[in-house]
Amino acid sequence: MFKRVLIANRGEIALRIQRTCRELGIETVAVYSEPDRNARHVREADHAVCIGPGAALESYLVIDKIIDAAKQTGAEAIHPGYGFLSENAALTEACDAAGITFIGPPGAAMQAMGDKVSARKLMEEAGVPVVPGANDIDINDLETATREGERIGYPLMVKAAAGGGGRGIRLVERAEDLADAMRAAGSEAASSFGDATIFLEKYVSPARHIEVQVMADSHGNVRTFGERECSIQRRNQKVLEEAPSIAVTPEIRKRLCDAAEAAARSCGYRNAGTVEFLMDNDGSFYFLEMNARLQVEHPVTELVYGVDLVALQLAVANGEAIPDDIGLAEPHGWAMEARINGEDAYNNFTPDLGLVEHVELPTGPGVRFDTMLFAGLDVPVFYDSLLGKLIVWAEDRELAVKRLRRALTDLLVVGIETNAPFHLALLDHPDFQSGNFSTGWLESTFEMPPQPEDDPRQRTALVVAAIAASVAGSAPAAGKSGGGRTKWLQATREHAIGLRVQSGGGGWRRRDIASK
């Protein structure tokens, strides 16, 4: 097994990978931008390297800096996490050239699945059901697009071939709106991915977004770990996921897993990946895309199948075969994950970042919180608003809903707003409780209730902030204190830079912080 692994990411996913590495006796190398200097993933790594300023284009997305950091610290492998460079074939090529193991799929498989048009063609050849559509549409070729649109039928989706994260997608309900949608999707795709190529796809609605976790090794083994329900989405982004899906029967699960396995085999896939499908009310499903990386929502699969997917990634990357007896054959219990973002749910989910003054994290039976939060954290403006993932497991779905509600009420973050009130309102909605929802349900049906005038959580937050200010010897203004650099906050931040990390023997040791 590897002795030292560099994690080319930040936040909760970097911490998640670090924990498994510690269990396996693997040293970790953190890379960080200047605003992330005090971040938990830096504090908890064995070694750390600063790779540039806050903008991701100057730090986390610079392949040369990642490779140099690995060489500088003697890292034998690089784990990309998700986002940033996780699906960038150029990083895999750079790793190969430097003699460093990339913990993920081969570059060829990544390229084949990263381009949505290429992936659609591969799936058609492999016999995997694909949504009717038209590939390789030039954004300036309105004549061809119009002809294909008439063949496919409206409504339809215009999608970026190199898209991801909900970008480069437009819904077109009438033929006369097609030209504007093509220009908008192509422009967004060009600025986000450097590729303006689009394709057309029939709009399947109502439909569920169901995905299957796959793992493949270099010995020809492909293993699937059931499905995840990812239909609760806003602006084409998932906000809450669960496993299994209330709409998937054992027979449908087998067909989904068989299709996902065929998808992985079609491109010589290795390591962790996720095959995403749209599923009709009658159980028919269509290939949507394959994500060539570990997913944000992977913990719900881990909890219901009894497997550490990161540990399995490391083993497969090290050339080992997937054990025959790894994980459970069928899902056990129910798991749910709520993405906790720094945003104001009562103000159109406007991002709300800045200084976290106090945190109380939920604990108790069946609760797991993968998070970057700590008191004194300055949440940077350079990255997305994800602060952590609150995950619960229970014997059945009804209890999982209750447990997630309890965990959300136990979560307290002072200094910035989070979307916890949204999740609480979602869990109370009768459609969610009954499982009667689809990908368009959240934006078409759900309404955020008014903010309570006398919110006990807000009162608690203000009391905690006042106590913190009193301890610091400086009272902040009522509400958010955001700016004051009190002695208490200064002490918290200095503690965050501490160089100690607990060793496997139970003592404490210093670690070196490499700077670049």
Alpha-carbon distance 358 to 462, whole Å?
A: 10
Confidence band for 470, pLDDT divided at 50, 70 and 90: low
Per-residue pLDDT tens digits for 215-227: 999 999 999 999 9
pLDDT of 463 over the 90 cut? no
**Which of 125-134, 413-422, 457-466 is the least confident region?**
457-466
**All residues at 6 or more sequence positions from 368 whose CB lies less than 8 Å from its CB, including other chains:** 299, 303, 390, 391, 392, 393
Q: Where are the domains of the chain?
A: 4-103, 132-202, 205-332, 333-455, 456-501
Alpha-carbon distance 69 to 78, whole Å?
A: 10
Of the candidates 287, 257, 294, 271, which has an alpha carbon nearest to the alpha carbon of residue 119?
287
pLDDT of 258 over the 70 cut? yes
Cβ 228 vs Cβ 259: under 8 Å: no
CATH class of residue range 333-455: alpha beta
pLDDT of 193 over the 90 cut? no
**Residue linked to tokens 């991915």:** 193
At 228 the pLDDT is 98
- Output the CATH code of domain 205-332: 3.30.470.20
Q: Is 132-202 a domain of CATH 3.90.1530.10?
A: no
**All residues at 6 or more sequence positions from 366 whose CB lies less than 8 Å from its CB, including other chains:** 392, 393, 394, 403
| Candidate list 43, 228, 253, 293, residue with the active-site label | 293
- 3-state DSSP assignment of residue 319: coil
Burial of 177 (0-12, 13-18, 19+ CB in 10 A): middle
Q: Is 293 a catalytic residue?
A: yes
Alpha-carbon distance 423 to 457, whole Å?
A: 15
**Residue linked to tokens 């899906």:** 245
At 501 the pLDDT is 30
Give the chain's mean pLDDT. 89
Structural tokens at position 3:
């002795």
Q: HEC profile for 295-312? A: CCCHHHHHHHHCCCHHHH
CATH class of residue range 4-103: alpha beta
Provide the greatest CA pair distance for the chain: 71
Tell me whether the CATH fold assigned to 132-202 matches the one assigned to 205-332: no
